[in-house]
A and B are shown apart, each in its own frame.
Chain A
Amino acid sequence: MSTPVQLTTRKDWSSDQEVRWCPGCGDYSILAAVQMLMPELNVNREDTVFVSGIGCAARFPYYMNTYGVHTIHGRAPAIATGLAVSRPDLHVVVISGDGDALSIGGNHLIHALRRNVNITILLFNNRIYGLTKGQYSPTSERGKVTKSTPVGSLEAPFDPVSVALGAEATFVARTHDMDRAHMQETIRRAWAHEGASLVEIYQNCNVFNDGAFTDITSRTSRDDMLIDLHHGEPIRFGAQKQFGVFRHLDGSVYTDTITVDNESQIVVHNESAPDPSGAFALSRLTRSDHEPTPVGVFRSVQRPEYGDVLNEQIVDIQERDGLGDLASLFRGNGSWTVSE
C-alpha cells in the first residue's frame, strides 16, 4: 500500500488547526519536537496515525497533519490496538497523559504493553489534571495540595517507567520537555522499536503545577540532576561526571560520588537485558522530583509483536488448510438434505 517516502518539512506535518494549549505549556515544545522529527523518520504522512484519549495532551493529534483520532478517556491504547493489528502497514502513535494513561486507562496501558502491540506511546506527565483545572493525578507526590486535596493528597504516586517495566514493556524511556534534542532522540528510538514502546515525557503545566520538574530539568540543575542512560556505558552524571550509580547487594541502586576505589563498581547500563529487574531498579532510584533522575532508554528488548503473531497465525492456517469456503463452513457441523 505504501508509496515511496516523500521528502517533507515540519510544515508538511503541521495541520491548519490553531494550537490551543495555554501559553507557556510544555506541550508546545513536545509538539514542535515531534513535528520537526517526523521528516527524518522515513515515513509518509498518510501512513501515520496519532491516537489520543482525553486531557490536554490528547489534543495533540489535531495539530498533526496526519491521520488522527481523538477518542475517549483512557481508551487510546485499546483503540490503537484494534487499529494496529488490523493494519500492520501503519505507524500508530498514542498520545496520553498521566491521568489518561495511569488512572482511567491504566488497564489498557498495561495490557497493550504486555501484549507488545506495535504502538508508540508518548505519555506526557505533568503530575496534575490540567484540563479539569487542577486536581491531583496518579503521579502527583503524596501530600500535594490541589483543589480536590485541600489538605494534601493521601496517595503514593505511580512512577510511569516502573509501571511500564512491571508490565514487561519491551521499550521504556523517559525524556523531558526542556530538551528538544533529547526528546527527539528518545522518540526516534521508540518509533524504530518493533512492538510497544512507552516514552514518559516530563512536561510542565505552567498553570496548575508550574515548576514540577524544575529542580531536575532546568538548565542550571540539569547536569547534576539528570542521569542520562547510555547502553553499555557506566552510568555517570554531574557537570564533571563526578557522580555514578551503584548497586546494593539486594539489587537496588543508589548514587554516590565516584572515587578511585568505587569507580570499577559503577553500574554499566544494559538496556537489552532480558530481565527487567535492572531497569526497574533504575526506575526506583528517584523517590522525589528533587533527586537525580535517570532519563533516556531504560529498556529495549525484542519480543514477538502482537499484531505480527496474530496475523501470522492467520497466514499459517490459510497456508496449511487453504482459504475459507462459505459453502463448506455452513456444512461444517453436519447437514441433511430434504428431497422433492
Chain B
Amino acid sequence: MTQSPSPLSSVVLRFAGDSGDGMQLTGERFTTESAVFGNDLATLPDFPAEIRAPAGTLGGVSAFQVQISDHDITSAGDTPDVLIAMNPAGLRANVAQLDRGATIIVNVDAFDERALTKAGYSENPLADGSLSAFNVFEVPMTSLTTAASAEVGVKPRDAERSKNFFALGLVCWLYSRPIENITAWIDKRFAKNDLVRQANYRAFRAGYDFGETSEAFAVRYEIAPAPFAPGEYANITGNTALAWGLVAIAQRSNLPLFLGSYPITPASDILHELSKHKRFGVRTFQAEDEIAAAASAIGAAYAGSLAVTTTSGPGLDLKSEAIGLAVALELPMIIVDVQRGGPSTGLPTKVEQTDLLHALYGRHGESPVPVLAPSTPGDCFETAIEAARIAVKYRTPVIILSDAYLANGTEPWPIPDPSTISPIDPDFASGPNATDAEGNPTFWPYLRNPETLARPWAVPGVAGLEHRIGGLEKADKTGAVAYDGKNHEIMTHLRADKVAGVVADIPDLIVDEPSSAATLLVVTWGGTYGPVAAGVRRARARGVPVAHMHVRHLNPLPANMGDILSSYTTVICPELNLGQLASVLRARYLVDVKTLSKVQGAPFRAADIDAAIEEYR
C-alpha cells in the first residue's frame, strides 16, 4: 500500500520506556536522520538519575523528546503530538502532558498485569476508556520484533532487546524518513557483533514494514526540510559543543589545553569528550576530588596552559576556594558549571538555573569573576571560545553557566571554518618590566596593563622573571606580600575594575522586537532562550507586541542594559530559579523586574511564557 504523505509543519515526538530500553539511542537516531533530512530540530533528553532504576516503574522511565520542523524552531516543544510508550510506566509517566487528540503508540505486548501493577495501574488503560481523548495505536512490538529476529537465530530473550529498533522503524515510516542512512548506521555501529547487527536491522525493517502494510495508520506524514542557510551542519549537544570550542581555541592559539575534572552528572561528558582528543595535545586529569580538579587547573594555568575545570552545582561549591585563589593570583582559567537541580544532590539529571548567584557571589571576600552563559547547545561552542578570550586577555578565572538542558539537548550546528576562529595572543611576559631600588632590571608580577588592568602572565622557565605569588594580599605593582590596609583597598578596587572593564569586549544587547510597539520586555539568560523565544513567537502570532532580550554576559552586564530595561513599561524575567537574575537587575538598575519562576527540573513550555506575556501585557 502506498500513501502519499500529508504535509506537516512540525511535530513533537516523545519516546518513553524503561531505562534499559534504549530510548535515548532511539531518539538520538531519529533526530540525526531528521537533521540529515534537513529539518530544524531541538531535543530534550529526560532520564532518571539511577543507572538502572527498577524495571517497569515510573522512576525508571527514560524519555527523549524531539521536535522536528520545516521552519526555524527554538525548543523541543511543549507537549508531545506523539507519544511512543514502550511499557505501561512510559505511558503513565507522560500521558498527563498530552493534549487531547494526541497520538499514542504503545507496545501492547508490554501491557500485562504485572507490568501494569508495577506502573501503578489498577486497570488496563488500553481497556478502561481512560485514553479515549487520544488516538491510540496498539502495536505488538515485542512479539513482532522477536518474530523478525528469530529468523537470524537470535534467542527470544535477546531478540526482545531490539524492540526499540522496531519503534524507530515504525516512526521513520510514519514521518517518511529515508532509511538508507539508518541501515548504514546499524551496520557500522554493530559491526562487531553480527548477530546483534542483524537482529536490530530486522527489527527496524519490521517496524518500518509494519507501518507500510498494517493499515493501522491511515495517514503518513511528511515534514519538509527547513530553510537552512547553505552550508555544512552537524547535530551537536551542548557538552560536545563546549568541549570542541575549548579544543578549537586552544589549537588556534597554540596553547596547550588542560582539563582538571572530577566525574559529576551532567558535566562528565565534557571530560569524556576532551579525553578523546589527545591528537590535539589535550591533557585531561581526572582528579581525586572537585577541589583537586580546580587546583590542578590553577597549576596548569600557572604553567602556561589554557586551563579548564568542569563540574556541576555541588562541585562548584567545592571549587569556590580555588576560584578565589585564581582571582587573587589573577591567572586565566575557565570553570564550567553545568547546572542541575539543587540544593545538595538535588535533581542530578534535571535542568535548573539556580547557580547564577553562586557564580556571581559565591566566594568569600570581594571576588569578582566574569560569568557567561550559552543560550543553545550550539552556542556552547562560541561561549567556550569567548570565555577563553576573556580569561587570557584579563588574566582572570571565567565561569561558564551551562545547564542540563543545553548539555544533553541537540540542535543543528553550522560547522565553522576553523580559520575564522581568530587566535588568542597569550602575550606571555618575556623580560623584566621594572627597575629595582638599585637601578637593576627586575620583574613585578602585578604591574598592570594600563588599558585592561591585566597583570603579566609569567610562566616558569624564563630566566629573569622568577617571582612569588600567592593568596595573601599583594602590594600593588611589585606583588610582594602586603598587609597594609590602604594597599588592600587599592588592590580590591583594581580587581573589581579589571573585571568590570571586561565590558569593553562585550557587545551591546540586542532587543528582538519586530513590531517596535512593545511595552513589555522579556529578559532571558542561558538555556531558557529557546523555550522562551518560542513562547514570545506565540504571543506575537496572537498579535501581541512583545520584546525579547537575551543576556549572554552575566558579569559584567552589557553597557546598554540599564537603558534598555528602563525603556519598557513592564519587564519580566523567566528563570528556572526563584528570580536570581531579576534580583541582580533590580538591585543594579532599580527596575521592577517581574519574575516568572519554574523549578520543576524541566524547561519552560512556550505556553507558560505566552500565558505570562498575556498576564503582564
* A binding-site residues for B, Cβ under 8 Å: 1-3, 15, 17, 44-49, 51-52, 54, 61-62, 64-72, 75, 78-87, 89-90, 107-108, 111, 310-311, 313-314, 317-318, 321-324, 326-327, 329-331, 333-340
Contacts and interface: CB of A to CB of B under 8 A. Distances in A.
A324 B243 CA distance: 14
A330 B36 contact: no
Given A62-B468, A68-B468, A329-B247, 13 more contacts: A68-B469, A69-B468, A69-B469, A70-B469, A72-B295, A83-B299, A86-B304, A86-B305, A87-B304, A108-B291, A322-B279, A331-B415, A335-B232
Contacts of A321: 279
B229 interface: yes
Max chain B C-beta neighbours (<10 A), residue from A64, A313, A330? A330
B321 to A, nearest CB: 6
Given A71-B298, A82-B285, A324 B303 contact: no
Contacts of A1: 461
A75 B303 contact: no
Contacts of B38: 336, 338
B426 interface: no
A82 B307 contact: yes
B472 A46 contact: no
A66 B251 CA distance: 30
A333 B464 contact: no
B466 interface: yes
Contact of B303 (A47, A62, A87): A87
Interface in B438-463: 459-463
A334 B251 contact: no
A2 B460 CA distance: 11
B460 A82 contact: no
Given A83-B302, A87-B304, A338-B229, A72 B321 contact: yes
Contacts of A327: 417-418
12 contacts: A70-B470, A72-B324, A81-B299, A86-B258, A90-B461, A311-B283, A324-B277, A324-B280, A327-B417, A336-B35, A338-B225, A340-B230
Contact of A70 (B225, B252, B322, B471): B471
A337 B292 contact: no
B322 A72 contact: yes
B298 A82 contact: yes
Nearest to A111: B288
B299 A82 contact: yes
Nearest to A114: B288
Given A47-B461, A86-B256, A323-B279, A333 B298 contact: no
A202 to B, nearest CB: 26
A329 B244 contact: yes
A305 to B, nearest CB: 14
B260 interface: yes
Given A89-B461, A318-B281, A72 B418 contact: no
A44 B36 CA distance: 58
A334 B235 contact: yes
B32 interface: yes
